Amino acid sequence: MIAPMAILLSIFVIYPLAYALYLSMFEISFYRDPVFVGPQFYGYVLDSPRFWNAISIGLRLAVMVVPVMLVIAFLIASLIRTLGRRLAGFLKTTIYLPTVVSGVVASVVFTLMYRLDGGLVNGALGVVGIGPFAYLSSPDLALPAIAVPAIWLGIGVSSLIMLAGMLDIPESYFEAAELEGAGFLAQTRYVTIPLLRNILLFLFVTGFILAMQQVDLPLVMTGGGPVDSTMTPNLFIFTQFKDPTPYATSFSLTAALILFFVLGSVSALIFRLVRSEKAVDA
Amino acid sequence: MAIAGFKSKTEVVATPFQFFPKVWELDNYAQILGDPVFVRAMTITFVGAVIFTILSLLVNSTAAYAFARLEFRFKRALWAFCIVPLFIPAFAILVTSFVVVSNLGMLDSLAVLIIPGVASAYQMFFIRQFYLGIPVALEEAAMIDGASRWTIFRRIFLPLSRAPFVVVGVASFLAYWNAYVWPILTIQNPDLFQIQQYIGTFRQERGSEWGLLMAGSFLSALPLIVIVLIFQRYIVNGVRISGLK
C-alpha cells in the first residue's frame, strides 16, 4: 500500500535530490560532457556577491513580513475569540479567503494599486499630500512593497492557527484575569502570550522559512529588480537556471542545495520541537 | 483590518478602473470570457486540479493507512524515506526535477503538472495522524468477520476520512491551481497553459490592459473562493487538527 507513494517520492524527490548532489560536483555545459570538479562550485557560490545579496534580501523580506503578520494575526485572533459564534464563523471565513488567492493574482492586484498614476495607494496618499512614489521601480521601496502582499497572503492561516490555540486556553483563565481587573493588554501579556508561546514560536519559524522562499511575488511584480533589490534566494536560483550562460545551471543547482541544507535543517529542527511538544501535551 | 483587506481586494477587482467610467466593467468580463485561451486555461487547470486532488488523496491515504496500522519489514526505514521529503524545499531540486521530467518525456503534458506532486509527505503525515486516532476495535470486529485489509480500508477508513480528506484535498487543489513556477518551466504549448501562467503571461504581454487583467484575475480566483465557501466548516476546523496538535 505504500508502494505508489514510495515510488513516486523516489522518482520525483529523492532521486532529483541525489542527482543534484551528484551534479553539483560537475561542471555542466551543453557543449561537452560534464567534468568532475569536486566541491568547486560550492566555493564559487559562497564567493558570489549575488548569492549573498539574495540571502540578505530573503532575510530582510522575512524581517519585514513575519513580525507584522504575526501581530496583525494575533489581534485578529484575539478579536474573534471574544465574538459570538455566528460573527466569529463569518470572520474566520473572511480572513481565510485571501489565503486562496495565488501569488500571481496578488502580484497583479498590488501592482495595479502601486501604480504611479491612478494607483490606489498613491491616490490615497495624495489626499494627505504625500507622494506619489513609483514603489516598484525604486530600489528602496520595492522590497517593502512586496512585503505588503506577502503579509496579506499569510495573515489568514496564521490567525486561524492562533485562534485555535487561544480557544484551547480555558475560558476561566481569562475570567479570573478579568476579575483581577486585567484589561486586554494585561490579559494578552500574562495569559495569552505565555500560553501560546509554542504556537507563536512555530508560526514565527515557519513564517520565516516561507518568507525566505518567496518567489511568485517578486517574479511577477519586479522580476527581481530594480538592481536586484527584490532578488529573493529562490528567484535567484530560478533566474540562474534560466540563464543561458555556461555553468549557470551548475551554479543554480549548487546555490539551491546550500539553501536547502540551511532551511531544511531549520525545518527539521522545528518538526522535532513540535513533535516533542505534542508528546508532552498528550 | 481583515475585512478591510478583503474588501479593498474585491473592490479593486470589482471596479477595476476607479477613476474611469464604470460602463467598462461588464465589458471586461465579457471580453475575457470570450477569450478562448482564457477559457481553455481555466478548464484545463480545473481538470488537472481535480485529477491531481483525487490521485494524491488516493496515494497518500493508502500509505497513511499502512503506516498507521500495518506491521511490515523495513517499516521504520520506509517511514523515514517518506517523511524526509517534508524537509526538501521544491526549489532545492528544481533543476534536477526538470531534468528528470524531461528525460521521462513528460514536458508539455498534463502529466508533468500532475504526477510529480502527487505523493506528499505532508498530506500522508496529516492523514496518518487522523488514522491513528481511529479506535482499533472497529477493525477487529471486521477482521473477525474475515474482512481483508483492503476491505477494512475501503469500508471503514475511507468513510470516516471525510474531514481530513476535505482539508488535505482543498490544500491540494489550491496548490495545483496556484502553481506558477513549475508550469512556466515545463509547459510551452499554449493549449496547455495553466491559469496562473495565463495571467502571468498576460501581465507581461498586455500589461496595460488593467481592466481585462483584473477581470481575469478575479475570475481565476473565483473557483477557489467558491470551494472555500462550500467547505468552510471543515477548513476552519481543519486548521485546528493540522500540524500543531
CATH classification at residue A147: 1.10.3720.10
Q: Is A252 on the interface with B (CB under 8 A)?
A: yes
3-state DSSP assignment of residue A26: strand
Which pLDDT score is estimated for A70? 92
Is residue B59 domain-resident?
yes
Which whole number is the average pLDDT over A148-175?
84
pLDDT given at position A32: 58
In a domain, A54, yes or no: no
Instruction: Establish if A60 belongs to a structural domain.
Output: no
pLDDT tens column, A136-147 = 777 777 888 888
Q: What is the pLDDT of residue B51?
A: 92
Closest partner CB to B200 (pick from A8, A104, A160): A104
Q: Provide the grid cell at B11.
A: 473592490
Q: How many domains does chain B have?
A: 1
Residue B202: give the domain boundaries.
21-241
CB under 8 Å to B125, separation ≥6 — which residues? B64, B83, B86
CA–CA distance, B86 with A142 (Å, rounded to integer): 32
Question: Chain A window 147-166: which residues touch B at a Cβ cutoff of 8 Å?
Answer: 152, 155-157, 159-161, 164-165
Whole-prediction pTM value? 0.80
Place of cell 477587482: B13
Q: What is the pLDDT of residue B22?
A: 44
pLDDT at B243 over 50: no
Question: Does residue A282 register a pLDDT over 50?
Answer: no
Give domain status of residue A111, yes or no.
yes
Cα B26 from Cα B209, distance rounded (Å): 14
Q: How many residues make up chain A in this entry?
A: 282
Question: Into how many domains does chain A fold?
Answer: 1
Distance CA A247, CA A89 (A): 53
pLDDT tens-digit series, residues B212-224: 777 778 888 888 8
- Would you state the pLDDT for residue A244? 66
Question: Does A213 lie at the interface with B, CB-CB under 8 angstroms?
Answer: yes
Residue A219 belongs to some domain of the structure:
no
Tell me phi and psi for residue B70, to 5 degrees. Answer: -90, 155
Residue A192 lies in a domain: yes
Looking at residue A227, what DSSP letter applies? Answer: T
Residue of chain A minimizing CA distance to B116: A12
ipTM of the complex: 0.76
Q: Which residues in chain B touch residue A72, judged by CB atoms under 8 angstroms apart?
A: 1
Average pLDDT of span A8-14: 77
Residue A173 makes CB contacts below 8 A (sequence gap 6+) with A191, A195
In a domain, B216, yes or no: yes
Range of the domain at A75: 66-196
Query: Nearest CB to B2: which of A17, A155, A268?
Result: A155
- B5 and A98: CB-CB below 8 Å? yes
On whether residue A73 sits in a domain, the answer given is: yes
Does a structural domain hold residue B86?
A: yes
What distance in Å separates the CA atoms of residue A239 and residue A223, rounded to the nearest whole number? 9
Query: Residues A183-226: pLDDT tens digits?
Result: 778 788 778 888 887 788 878 888 888 888 888 888 888 777 77
Is residue A56 one of the residues assigned to a domain?
Answer: no
The pLDDT > 90 percentage for chain B reads 3
CATH value at residue B124: 1.10.3720.10
Residues in A touching B65 (Cβ below 8 Å): 1
Q: Write out chain A residues lying below 8 Å of B94, CB-based.
A: 237-238, 241, 252, 256
Q: Does A8 touch chain B (CB under 8 A)?
A: yes
Residue A8 lies in a domain: no
